Each structure stands twice: as structure tokens, then as C-alpha cells.
Structure 1
Amino acid sequence: MNGYTLRYMVAALLMGSLLILIGCEQRSAEPAKVERPTASQQVDVEAAADLSLAIWQAGQAQVLHAHASVETLQRAVQALLAQPSEEQLEETRLAWLDAHREFAATLPYIQLAFSPSDLRGQGRKLLLALDSWPAQPGYLDTVPGYSDSGIVNDTAIELTLVNLRKQHRLTAHEEASTGFHALEVMLWGPTSERMSEDFVADSNGEKPEALAANRRRELTRLIVKGIEEDMAGLARRWPTSANNLSRAYLSLGPVARLQQIRAAHTQVIDEQLMRRLPEGSESDVESGRAADSKQALLAIMATLQSNWIPTGGGGMAEVLLDRHQVRALEQTFSDFEALLLKMEDPFELAELGQLGRARKLLEQMAGLMTGTVHVPVSEKDVMPVSLPAVED
């Protein structure tokens, strides 16, 4: 299933909920707190219940799909290690790209699931394990000028997944030894010149398991194993019958659930999307080797759009915003996507003006989602009124 198919599936889940908007929403001049609806917001409770459950189920579908993509990636790595070839290395890289984008599309749902205060620490730990970037290549493998660098060459570190998790971000945030971007370093290489022969097993010496080539193979296998374990654990905790992540969410009232989604999504814009748009050419980029920063960002945006303004109508916007804000939000999504498609990937090559424009569009998007950005009524939306003639 590709990203477009999934997007329509999510939209279908959302459209299964009958949305009834009671009245027009009016916002106060003060910024609305997203944790609870304002007094002027009137949302049909039954519609909110249907929509909030549909969004949770869409999250489950996306998590399962991302996990399946990771399993495909794991099989590709296994095939590469069993019989290294340039063709299989390319297949493995393509599997990484697919899994990375599907994972990116889960981020708004993960933010929602771990919103409760007693779960936030778990959510942060999971995201750091799976998605820590930038990844310092010299922490993992040989880099030019340092032939003995990295875990690949440090035989004092026994290669087990438990040890890799202990080494992850041990003394600095760039020291990634688990997750997608550690695996990116292994598949593309520290200098983006990885060759399949780097994964050929070496049987020479008294302790072949200590040789760099064999440790590189094992390190790569363990990293993808860790990604699969983390995604499988998330998938097990998601269903409403699991009484785990879903319990905290379903214990809220329907309208409160929508407000939690709203808060989670604006946080994703601030902490995930903004972070992926560098403020200058010297800023860190997410996937410099795989050149996938832009596509991952688009995957996150597709999830947000499917929740707020799904294809065919319905969604968060129609429940929480007035019709002028809905129209403005739809246009903002469209403008942001069009701008992003024009930009270079990796983003460090993009024009600074484009990056600045993209950040402003994200700020506008967040303001519209929270309801704090008001859209002036255009002249064509105002009904003409015939006034009686004034006698002299």
C-alpha cells in the first residue's frame, strides 16, 4: 500500500463519522487554550465521539502500516547480509526510504497517544530511540582520517541490542546508535559512498567476529532489529482492546479528545515540522545522506491534512473552526505543499527565502488550528442589504 492509498483509507475512516456542526464558532480576542473548548464552542458530542474514535483508529492503521514497512526493511537487510550486492543494497535503501516515510506519517498519532503527563516520558524515549538525528557517522563507523573510529572498531563494546541502547546518545545527542538515522549511516555510509562489498563477511584471523567488516554487519542487523522491536511494541499497545495507550484517550469525553488532538497536532508543527526546516545553510538536516527530509515532512503533513481536511470533506476543521478558517486552513495546506515540492532536498540546499516562507506558513497553520487566527470576511461572503430610502 503506498502513501496515497493510505491517505484515502484514513480519509474514509474519518468520513465514516457523521459530523454535525452546531452554530458558528466565535472566538474571543484572547488566545484559546487548546486543552479545553472555549465556552462559545458548541460541538455535537455524538459527532465528536465518532470523529475522535475514527482518528484513533486511523492512527492504529498507520502504526500497523509503518510496522509492516519496517518488517520489509528488516528482511531487505537480512538479504543484503546474506548475499551482498549493489542491487540488494539499493533495494535495502529503497526499503529504508519507504519505512522512514511511513514512520514519519505516524508522528502526529504518536504525539497524541503519549499526550497524558504520565505517558510523555515514554513517548519521548520511544521517539529518541527511533528518530534521533543528526547521527554522527564517526560514532558508528570508520570515517576519513580516523580508521579506528566508531562502534564498528571498538571491540570493547559487545554488540548486543541491549548495549546499543545503552550507547545511544550516551554523551551527546549526535551519538545515535539506534533508530532510522543510525541505520541511514550504515546503509549510505559515513560519506555517502557505501558499497555492498563493505558488508561482505570476513573469515580471516583468530577472532573474525572482532573484525570491522563483521562488526559492521552485526551492527546493521541489530539496529534494524531494534527499530522493528520498538514499532512492534507500539503496535501492540495501540488497539482499544489493549487497555494501555487507548485507555487514557478513551477515558476523556469526546470533545476533550478533539482538544487533545488539536494540542498534539500544533505541538507536532512546533517540535517536528519546524525543526525539519533549517533556518540557515549551516543548520542540521534530518536525512542528509538519504536525501529524504522533504518527503518525510510531506508524510507528516499528509497525516495532519487527512485529520483536519480529509479528501471529500469532514474532519477536525469542520468541527472546531468557522467556515472562513476552514477555507484558509485548506489553502494553507495547499500553499505549503506547493512550496515544499519546489524546494531542494536535502533542505540545506534550499533557498533561504523559501525556508522562511515555509516557516511562516506553518505558523499560520498552527494559528488556524488553534482558532487564534481569525480570517476577515470577504466582500463576496457578505449578503447585500437593501436599506429603505431616507426621505428629505
Structure 2
Amino acid sequence: MNEHSIRHLLVALLLGGLAVLVGCEKKPVPHKAIQNVAPQQVSKKAASDLSLAIWEAGQAQVLHAHASVETLQRAVGALLAQPGEDQLEEARLAWLDAHREFAATLPYIQLAFSPVDLRSQGRKLLLALDSWPAQAGYLDTVPGYSDSGIVNDTAIELTLANLRRQHRLTAHEEASTGFHALEVMLWGPTSERTAEDFVADSNGEKPEALAVNRRRELTRLIAKGIEEDMAGLARRWPTAANNLSREYLALGPVARLQQIRAAHTQVIDEQVLPRLPEGSESDVESGRAADSKQALLAIMATLQSNWIPTGGGGMAEVLLDRHQVNALEQTFSEFEALLLKMEDPFELAELGRLAQARKLLEQMAGLMAGTTQVPISEKDVMPVSLPVTEG
């Protein structure tokens, strides 16, 4: 499947397919979390169609993210083959595209690895691909420490297996695989990377031990690791594949919706809220690439497409009453508008806006879970006509 067909499938699933799933199933679900919703209160057909459409949308997004990672790997290869500023810029642009496409998969990954026996695998995958913040000095030379990092530590043989063993070895910021390790390599420890830092050096008895050559190999291996991990995920996703889809499909239709709902509220708690710092000293996700905001918007776009897709027919319409649906739609809109006003990286954003964004996210999670009540406005109350009495 080429990149065009993958994107076409994704758009079709998210913007069109969900709209027809609930059909005439317009009865509002009582205001409770879905764990307390009896199966007869949600149409099994609507639940089946919607839960399958969301899984297939996840597959399309994973395939698209993998394609963008393959493009990134090729761009890194081109940079190493012929280091130049144009090649470095192309590699950075490919990183930005791949990072955002990966961010858009996070709600689906959370869903796929929801079963108890798969959770440790899901955590391992996310840590391998998306561990942040990444300590620059763990990877490369930093100002004041000319011998720092794996590029200077010749005791570490540069193989992908070794990098995986070194990853988060003694501290969570010691990232040696994933997007943010590669971010350090492409933008540099101080965001002043030049293409010259990747020019091979053939001098000396052991040129492979020179820092610049180890930097080249380290960069290549990190990109390879990202592609390897995404390829593995793409292979496991299809409904005819293995335990990811098998465990999901083994659930009843309503139970699948329960799993989606729980996974998405968990994404807000574990993936979205941590990306919004509570203070100026907090960690930010992509300080060097300045991509924290766009990556967060990509996560939110996936959530919104599943809950309130264009044309209707998403999770909200099946699980929430109309007041909750309207409130959720408004919350998505307000959050996006607020986010677009913020600086990127978020460490530059106003603390008041960050606090407001966190509040909106908490409201969004409550609405998705069905635990947040929405007061009925006066205009929604039907007027009662009293009989006129003659006196």
C-alpha cells in the first residue's frame, strides 16, 4: 500500500465512515461511565461497526506513520551519504513529519495494548520510541564536556542491540533510542548542529573510533531502530494478524467501546497532560525541534476524529447525551484555539494559558468518561402550557 492510498484510507475512515455507523440509533445514553451501561442500552450493531471502524482507522494511521518513518530513515541515509545543509534540513523536516504522524497513533497504541497481558509490551514500545526528555550529554559532546556521550565512549560498541540496552539505563532521561534521541542528533545538543558534524573522517589508525564517525553511526542506528519498531507494530495490527487484533476482536462490541473509552481518557491523563508543563522549569517534549505543540495537536486530532468526526457518528453520539456531545465538541474547539495561541516549545508559553489548557483537558476527560454532567439550559426545557380557567 503506497503513501497516497494509506492517506486516502485514513481520511475515508475518519471523516466519512463513522458518520453512517449509528444510523437511527439516536437514543441518548444515560449519564454514566460506559462500564455501567447495560448492553441493551447501546445498539450492538452500532457498537460493532464503530469499534471496527476505529480499529481500522488505527491500522491506517500506523501504516501512514510507518511510511513517514521510512522517509525519515532515507533522509538520514542521504545526509550521511552526502552531508550538506540541504540534506540536514531535509532530515529535520522528515523528523517533524514522522514525529507528528507517530503522535497521531498514540490513542490507537493505547487502545491496542489495553489488555493486561499486553500492557508491558505497550509500555516498552512507547519508551523505545518516545522517551523524553533526552539528555544530550548522554549521546553527544556538550559544551564544557568534550568527551561526553556515547559518541566518545568507545567502550560501547555501536550496535542497535547495545543502544537498546543503554536506553534509560540508569535514569529516565538517558534516551539512546527513539524520536527524541534522534532529535538530539539532528538538531545538536545546543540546537546548533551543522552538516559538517556528519562529515566522515578517514584519518588515524582506527577511524571508526573517531567521534564524528561514531556520531554518524549512532544517528543511523537510532533511525533504524525507530523504523524497526514501527514496522513491528504495523505487522501486528491487521485483524488477520496476531494477538493485538485478536484480543480486541474477542471482546463483545460494547466491551470494545468500553476499552476505547478507557484508553482515550488514559491518553489524556498519561500522554497529553504531561506535555503541558505546570511551570517554567518543567520538561518539554521537543525543545530542540520546537514540535511539542504540533505533536500535541496531532494526538488531539485523532481523539476528536474518533469522538466527534466530521459528519457525526462517532463515540460521543453513541455513548453520550446530546448535552454532553455539544459540551465535548465545544471543549475540543476551545482547547485547539487556546493551543494555537501558545508558544512552541511550551516552556515559552504563558503559565495562565497552560493552566487553562489543563483545565480544559480535565473537562474533556470527564465528558468522554461520561462522569461530567452538563446542566440543561433554560432553552432546552419544554414550556408547560397551563389550561386557562374562566373565573
TM-score higher than 0.5: yes
Give the superposition deviation at 1:385: 1.8
Give the superposition deviation at 1:74: 0.2
Give the superposition deviation at 1:127: 0.1
Q: What is the alpha-carbon root mean square deviation over aligned residues?
A: 1.7
The equivalent of 2:302 in structure 1 is 303
Residue type at the aligned position of 1:23 = K
Q: 8 Å contact 1:7–1:306 — kept in the other structure?
A: no
Residue type at the aligned position of 2:45 = E
Give the superposition deviation at 1:69: 0.1
Q: Does residue 136 of the first structure (1) align with residue 135 of the second (2)?
A: yes
| Residues in 2 aligned to 1:320 and 1:52: alpha-carbon distance in whole angstroms | 12
**Residues 131, 288 of structure 1: CA spacing in aligned structure 2 closer, same or farther, 3 A cutoff?**
same
The equivalent of 1:239 in structure 2 is 238
Give the superposition deviation at 1:17: 2.6
| Residues in 1 aligned to 2:50 and 2:38: alpha-carbon distance in whole angstroms | 21
Give the superposition deviation at 1:383: 2.0
Give the superposition deviation at 1:37: 3.8
Q: What whole-Å deviation, never above 9, does each CA across 1:296-341 have from its counterpart, x for those lacking one?
A: 0000000000000001111000000000100000000000000000
| Residues in 2 aligned to 1:313 and 1:257: alpha-carbon distance in whole angstroms | 19
Aligned residues: 387
**Residues 257, 97 of structure 1: CA spacing in aligned structure 2 closer, same or farther, 3 A cutoff?**
same
Query: Structure 1 stretches of 5 or more lacking a match?
Result: none
The equivalent of 2:146 in structure 1 is 147
Q: Does residue 97 of the first structure (1) align with residue 96 of the second (2)?
A: yes
The equivalent of 1:11 in structure 2 is 15
Q: 8 Å contact 2:68–2:101 — kept in the other structure?
A: yes
| Residues in 2 aligned to 1:229 and 1:79: alpha-carbon distance in whole angstroms | 18
| Residues in 1 aligned to 2:219 and 2:28: alpha-carbon distance in whole angstroms | 55
The equivalent of 1:339 in structure 2 is 338
Q: 8 Å contact 2:18–2:312 — kept in the other structure?
A: no
The equivalent of 1:157 in structure 2 is 156
Residue type at the aligned position of 1:263 = A
Q: 8 Å contact 1:77–1:221 — kept in the other structure?
A: yes
| Residues in 1 aligned to 2:215 and 2:317: alpha-carbon distance in whole angstroms | 51
Residue type at the aligned position of 1:63 = V
The equivalent of 1:372 in structure 2 is 371
| Residues in 1 aligned to 2:115 and 2:320: alpha-carbon distance in whole angstroms | 24
| Residues in 1 aligned to 2:168 and 2:282: alpha-carbon distance in whole angstroms | 19
**Percent identity over paired residues:** 83
| Residues in 2 aligned to 1:17 and 1:25: alpha-carbon distance in whole angstroms | 16
Q: Does residue 279 of the first structure (1) align with residue 278 of the second (2)?
A: yes
| Residues in 1 aligned to 2:50 and 2:31: alpha-carbon distance in whole angstroms | 22
Give the superposition deviation at 1:8: 5.8
The equivalent of 1:201 in structure 2 is 200
| Residues in 2 aligned to 1:9 and 1:52: alpha-carbon distance in whole angstroms | 12
Q: 8 Å contact 1:317–1:369 — kept in the other structure?
A: yes
| Residues in 2 aligned to 1:314 and 1:23: alpha-carbon distance in whole angstroms | 13
The equivalent of 1:113 in structure 2 is 112
Query: Structure 2 stretches of 5 or more lacking a match?
Result: none
**Residues 345, 41 of structure 1: CA spacing in aligned structure 2 closer, same or farther, 3 A cutoff?**
farther
The equivalent of 1:25 in structure 2 is 29
Q: Structure 2 length normalisation: TM-score?
A: 0.96
Q: 8 Å contact 1:37–1:255 — kept in the other structure?
A: no
Q: What whole-Å deviation, never above 9, does each CA across 1:68-95 have from its counterpart, x for those lacking one?
A: 0000000000000000000110010000
Q: What whole-Å deviation, never above 9, does each CA across 1:12-44 have from its counterpart, x for those lacking one?
A: 23235344435332236xxx3x5x242497111
The equivalent of 1:356 in structure 2 is 355
Q: Does residue 384 of the first structure (1) align with residue 388 of the second (2)?
A: no
Q: 8 Å contact 1:137–1:185 — kept in the other structure?
A: yes
| Residues in 2 aligned to 1:129 and 1:210: alpha-carbon distance in whole angstroms | 26
Q: What whole-Å deviation, never above 9, does each CA across 1:173-214 have from its counterpart, x for those lacking one?
A: 000000000000000000000000000000000000000000
**Residues 154, 84 of structure 1: CA spacing in aligned structure 2 closer, same or farther, 3 A cutoff?**
same
The equivalent of 2:168 in structure 1 is 169
Residue type at the aligned position of 2:148 = S
Residue type at the aligned position of 1:313 = G
Q: What whole-Å deviation, never above 9, does each CA across 1:351-385 have from its counterpart, x for those lacking one?
A: 00000000000000000001111111112212222
| Residues in 2 aligned to 1:20 and 1:366: alpha-carbon distance in whole angstroms | 27
Secondary structure (helix, strand or coil) at the match of 2:384 reads: coil
| Residues in 1 aligned to 2:31 and 2:64: alpha-carbon distance in whole angstroms | 38
| Residues in 2 aligned to 1:20 and 1:260: alpha-carbon distance in whole angstroms | 24
Q: 8 Å contact 1:8–1:311 — kept in the other structure?
A: no
Secondary structure (helix, strand or coil) at the match of 2:117 reads: coil
Q: What whole-Å deviation, never above 9, does each CA across 1:217-262 have from its counterpart, x for those lacking one?
A: 0000000000000000000000000032000000000011001000
| Residues in 2 aligned to 1:390 and 1:136: alpha-carbon distance in whole angstroms | 81
